[in-house]
Structure 1
Amino acid sequence: MSDTLVIKVGTSSLTRSDGRLALATIAALIETIVDLRAQGYQIVLVSSGAVGVGAARLGMTERPKTIALKQAAAAVGQGIIMRVYDDLFREHQQPVAQILLTRGDLDRRSSYINAYNTFQELFRLGVMPIVNENDTVAVDELKFGDNDTLSARVASLIDADWLFLLTDVDRLYSADPRKFPDAQPIFQIDRIEDLTALQVQTGGKGSEWGTGGMETKIAAAAIATGAGVKTAITHGQFPQYIERILHGEPLGTQFTPQLRAANARKRWIAHGLIAVGKIYLDAGAVAAISTGGKSLLPAGIARIEGEFEATDAVQLCDASGKEIARGIVNYSSSELDRIQGHRSTDIIDLLGYLGEETVVHRDNLVLS
């Protein structure tokens, strides 16, 4: 079976300082993608730039601040970007498809499966998907927030082998090399936690027109490697580096993947859902879940944090706040306030109705 690659290209790579498209860079990226497809790779391109390109077309001199103006600029820019991609890929007889996603599309199990099936059918048809966040309609609670996160979740969704994050530096450094000439390059990360020991300063967002930065790329790498996807950060102006990395060259910063969950539903829980609350467990519940493969019962809950509804995803944490698992909860936060610390047999008396015996069933729970 062919390896599947997700390539995310950021606004800083796609556009010039005035917000207009960097056509030479885009053409080089497309040539690289076409070459890789000819070698048998399946590829998904996650493309930023809609807001910046739309703002430039509308004569704006800075990134729009209000949600409505951002969405209007995205509506203008998305069509421009797709036209450019379609024109350039057509020169290579490569059909493309546009897929616009919001976080809600991957939070809901039914639409998550539908999205997976759409990607697989496009691969079967020889069509290359081009993905972006649906900025024109997404509200804050349904946004990924940046396309680095979106690309990592897409990589998890389609069981990709590699995620490439193309940016405006050649690799991760201990600090911004444009400001600190003595910043040290980082070539390999085996665990995301190692970045703390290396004292990496991630800084803020990248370009004037973009929403990402190195911090979001590291967060994306954590999501992707947690889903078993090899990840690399490399320079967007040299897309040919992708092929060289695939051939084993130590270019960019490469992140070692973790073991991938075999069960598709558990992969969705672990990497397709956003946790909206925390449940802190006592020592007995931590041990039962961590080593015993048990469900979470109300008696094992020490306290809860956040507001959530039944069927939302939550983090399960030990007393120190370290996440040990995450799962889909059977009760809302207000209901858990009343039953936490009690036996399951007390639920009907405490709530006035008979609910589930478990707070999080082991089938809906994934260890972190």
Structure 2
Amino acid sequence: MNEVLKNARRIVVKVGSSLVTNEGRGVDAEAIGTWCRQMAALAADGREVIMVSSGAIAEGMKRLGWATRPKELHELQAAAAVGQMGLAQMYETKLREHGMGSAQVLLTHADLADRERYLNARSTLLTLLSHKVVPVINENDTVVTDEIKFGDNDTLGALVANLVEADALVILTDQKGLYSADPRKDPTARFIDVCTAGDPALEQMAGGAGSGVGTGGMITKVIAARRAAGSGASTVIAWGREPDVLVRLTQGESIGSLFMAATAKLTARKQWMADHLQLRGTVVIDDGAVVKLRDEGKSLLPIGMVEVIGDFHRGDVIAVRSLRGEHVARGLANYASGEARLIARKPSSEIGAVLGFTNEPEMIHRDNLVLA
């Protein structure tokens, strides 16, 4: 654990409803202020931090005067709409106190399943980080029901870690971490300080219900750790009220349970790109572009493209071939086939003039490119 978090440069932090709302009493200004102070300290240390925060429904229940969590989906969605206002306002206020900007980002799982929306979300989040702004992400519960049905944003935290290629996911909860059994019932239960994410035995250990405020539980956190490991991010599950927990973790202190990713970040992403995505089209590139991709590790720019084959959309996976028909690479297209034909052989500086807009300066960014 000492090295994993100490070396992490991009970190996704997820906090659950019971922590954010002090067991459903409403947004906990002191707790959020504490996390914001720590995130500012991490930013000052040269790290990038994204916050995935639950709590909108619980805050909405308080504002609406509801003592118990309703069961009707439309009422839960209404509570989320009301509560999100207070949640965003609190993060903005507390981050601003430490000289940090914030941005509210509401996502759905569908946003991350659709390739074009995936690229749009990724570009937005990376742009916010480049401007030293902390994205505060929540599920868009007003229009979808994933969090309401399945758990306290643990899955969303893992998906965001995948999306931005985070080095680590930190899940702050109302428990110290994972035990081999329920310590309240089994006095022989041992604390799991370090393990390998994805080990089937961990899910057996984690069975159990969530709190009365959120709907998660340790099982959703263990599954989230497995998901995050799919892109090479390790996960820590720790008690959210541990003093200076984020700062101490990044200083190398062992706190909570560490779920080590078995695969390195770069290897995991390349494997995902190579094995699980269907090719939708092809771009043919000149010899100079082949050298840039293979020997220099550069992105594919439009000026290097000589032909566009097939019909594809932004976010689709396309093949990259040389003039001699050799398969050079594959990757996620930043432009649809019709747009790619218009900007082929043109410098990136002319994309806006040709198309009337610019998604990215590259046809395929090197982070989304797998060499053959």
Residue 216 of structure 1 is matched in structure 2 by 220
CA distance in 1, matches of 2:275, 2:19: 30
Q: Which residue of 2 aligns with 1:312?
A: none
Deviations 1:296-325 (A, max 9, x none): xxxxxxxxxxxxxxxxxxxxxxxxxxxxxx
Residues 263 and 63 (structure 1), Cα distance of their counterparts in 2 relative to 1, 3 Å cut: same
Aligned twin of 1:204: 209
Does 2:201 correspond to 1:231? Answer: no
Unaligned runs of 5+ in 1: 273-368
C-alpha spacing 1:182/1:59, structure 2 compared with 1 (3 Å): farther
1:242 pairs with 228, 234, 246, which one?
Answer: 246
Matches within 5 A, 1:109-128: 109-128=115-134
Instruction: Determine the C-alpha separation between the residues in 1 that align with 2:73 and 2:230.
Output: 32
**Residues in 2 aligned to 1:104 and 1:28: alpha-carbon distance in whole angstroms:** 32
Q: Is the 8 A contact 2:237 2:258 kept in 1?
A: yes
- In structure 2, the residue corresponding to 1:255 is in which secondary structure? strand
Q: Compute the displacement of 1:247 (Å).
A: 2.6
Give the aligned residue type for 2:17. Answer: T
Q: Is the 1:106–1:112 Cα contact (8 Å) retained in structure 2?
A: yes
**2:260 counterpart of 1:256:** yes
Task: Give the whole-Å Cα distance in 2 for the aligned partners of 1:265 and 1:142.
Answer: 33
Distance, in Å, in 2 between the alignment partners of 1:51 and 1:269 is 39
Distance 1:31 1:166, change over 3 A: same
* 1:276-287 map, 5 Å: none
User: What is the match of residue 133 of structure 1?
Assistant: 139
Amino acid at match of 1:102: T
Alignment root-mean-square deviation, CA: 3.0
How many angstroms does 1:224 deviate by?
Answer: 0.6
**Structure 2 vs 1, CA of residues 68 and 191 (structure 1 numbering), >3 Å: closer, same or farther?**
closer
- Report 1:41-120 matches (<5 A): 41-120=47-126
Task: Report the Cα offset of residue 195 of structure 1.
Answer: 2.6
**Alpha-carbon distance in 2 for matches of 1:79, 1:150:** 20
Per the normalisation by structure 1, the TM-score is 0.68
| 8 Å Cα contact 2:139-2:147 kept in structure 1 | no
Q: Percent identity between the aligned chains?
A: 41
Structure 2: 5+ residue stretches without partners: 1-6, 278-372
- Are positions 1:184 and 2:193 aligned together? no
Q: Distance in 2 between matches of 1:61 and 1:89?
A: 30
Alignment correspondent of 1:13: 19
Determine the structure 2 residue equivalent to 1:168: 174
* 1:27 and 2:58 matched: no
Give 1:43's aligned amino acid.
V
Letter in structure 1 aligned against 2:101: P
Could you tell me whether the CA contact under 8 Å between 1:5 and 1:160 is conserved in 2? yes
TM-score, length basis structure 2: 0.67
* Residue correspondences, number: 273
